[in-house]
Amino acid sequence: MRAKVKRIFYFCMFLNHNQLDMEKKERAGFSSKLGVILASAGSAVGLGNIWRFPYEAGNHGGAAFILVYLGCVLALGIPIMLAELVIGRRARANTGNAFQKLAPGTPWKWIGLAGVLTGILILSYYSVVAGWTLEYIGEAVTNSFAGKQAEDFIGSFNAFTTHSWRPVVWAVVFLLLTHFIIVRGVEKGIERSSKIMMPTLFLLMLLLAVCAVSLPGAGAGLTFLLKPDFSKVNSDVFLGAMGQAFFSLSVGMGVLITYGSYFKKETNLTKTAFSVGMIDTLVAILSGFIIFPAAFAVGVQPDSGSGLVFITLPNVFQQAFGDVPVLAYLFSVMFYLLLALAALTSTISLHEVATSYLHERYGLTRKRAAVWVTAVCVVLAAGCSMSLGVGRGYTIFGLTLFDLFDYVTAKVLLPVGGFFISLFVGWYLDKRVVRAELTNDGTLRLPVYRLIVFILKYLAPLGIACIFVNELGLL
């Protein structure tokens, strides 16, 4: 067990070995090719794939949403991810300063600053859900799922998330965990353990998908997942799918600008963006194959909202392995542990953006900078968490604070950020710079170069604008 905990610890740390370098005032990069992909994939893969994707897909009718989502990933998400990496590696600066460096004295700097703010807002409500995973690890470890039915899981989820202080405590614990890792910096040997963690999560999910699909009554879930009903496609579906694509890929606020600034000059940016996009999408689709068959099998509505995964999954463990309680126990403990870890690598990336900005811009020590970020997020996270329980009566535009943060960040701030990031690389940056970054100074052949520039110049900004205009009902 100790070895396991140690491994987990190292896994979480590997993202941050760059920070030690930063303390030494040099911006050395991730040490290996795999490190680069894993750090970026670690940021991308998280609650967005396993918690948010299924409930957004469920709210928007399933298969048709997923198709639109895939379109958004390919046409908007991956190209903008690439644009962020170009900005980051070129500027060798954090998100808040990168625009300042590449476009001194222009208003572009506001895009970077907006990114830092967006990161803080996301981190605040994200850590609430991340806190829920800690509660569920506790429940799994104490074997509290055993013998419960679907209704019991709904009841206990609602009781927990609306509790006055319990979820707040877990959110704070999660933020402190993130804080601790950000401040401590890193050790060696981390990449090796991350090579184990990510594939383990993936294999476990594959296994759960097989179990879920073979539950009696799962067929309706597969139909929901695979058979598009285009009559359900409206402007909300487009906005939701676009927001989900940005959110899930960690694109639109500059996480990948900050990470790109740590990349080596030999790293193939295009390949990295594509691999990360594929890994992220695969995990999201896989979680669809777990959640929907299982939800239909146990009679949980696919549009039951943000509790979907937390209500559905414990059922899968109970029903699929009911005859072998040891397996049910082991799998549930492992799953929530890995989910929490996936969330942790994402919160680290969010925290890193604000911390490195305060550190590099205002000369605070990393520790000080991190304390500020954590303190602000603790207050906001407590507000978000309580807005689901004791504060339910207080709404803004009809939304609780939690839902407001989710809506404003995923469906407004990230796409707007993505819009300007693609304009910046497509129009403002000198094309020689863009070409040099994408081809590593001409050493890589890049047949898709023109396509990428075309997307960043026209397709992505116009696509995002159309989806907004459409949502406002003007189209």
Please report whether residue 306 would count as binding ligand TRP according to CB under 6 A.
no
Is residue 78 involved in binding ligand TRP (CB under 6 A)?
A: no
Alpha-carbon separation of residue 165 from 125, 379, 469 (angstroms): 15, 13, 40
Q: Contacts with ligand TRP in 80-139 (CB under 6 A)?
A: 122
Structure tokens at 191: 């990449």
User: Which of 319, 314, 340, 339 lies closest to 140 in space, CA to CA?
Assistant: 314
* Choice from 350, 370, 386, 464 touching ligand TRP (CB under 6 A): 350
Among 44, 86, 120, 297, binds ligand TRP (CB under 6 A): 44
DSSP 399: B
From the list 286, 316, 291, 314, the residue with the least C-alpha distance to 304 is 291
Kindly identify the residues of this chain, within the stretch 221-260, that bind ligand TRP according to CB under 6 A.
Answer: 247-248, 250, 253, 255
The minimum distance between CB 177 and ligand TRP, in angstroms, equals 15
Q: With CB under 6 A as the contact rule, which of the stretches 21-29, 265-273, 345-353, 423-431 interacts with ligand TRP? A: 345-353
Quick count: other Cβ atoms within 10 Å of Cβ 232?
14
Give me the DSSP letters along 164-227. Answer: SSHHHHHHHHHHHHHHHHHHH---SSHHHHHHHHHHHHHHHHHHHHHHHHTSTTTHHHHHHHHS
What residue type is 363 in one-letter code?
Answer: G
Site membership for ligand TRP, residue 76 (CB under 6 A): no
CA distance 81 to 77: 6
- Closest approach, Cβ 130 to ligand TRP, in A, equals 9
Least gap, CB of 381 to ligand TRP (angstroms): 15
Minimum CB separation of residue 129 from ligand TRP in Å reads 9
DSSP 296-312: HHHT--TT-GGGHHHHH
Q: How far is the CB of 435 from ligand TRP (least distance, A)?
A: 27
Site for ligand TRP in 378-417 (CB under 6 A): 414
Number of residues that bind ligand TRP (CB under 6 A): 16
Q: Applying CB under 6 A, which of residues 42, 46, 302, 461 lies at the interface with ligand TRP?
A: 46
CB of 124 to ligand TRP, least distance (A): 12
CB of 376 to ligand TRP, least distance (A): 17
- Residue 43 touches ligand TRP, criterion: CB under 6 A: yes
What are the φ/ψ torsions at residue 229 (nearest 5 degrees)? Answer: -115, 95
Q: What is the chain's length?
A: 475
Residues forming the site for ligand TRP (CB under 6 A): 43-44, 46-49, 122, 247-248, 250, 253, 255, 346, 349-350, 414
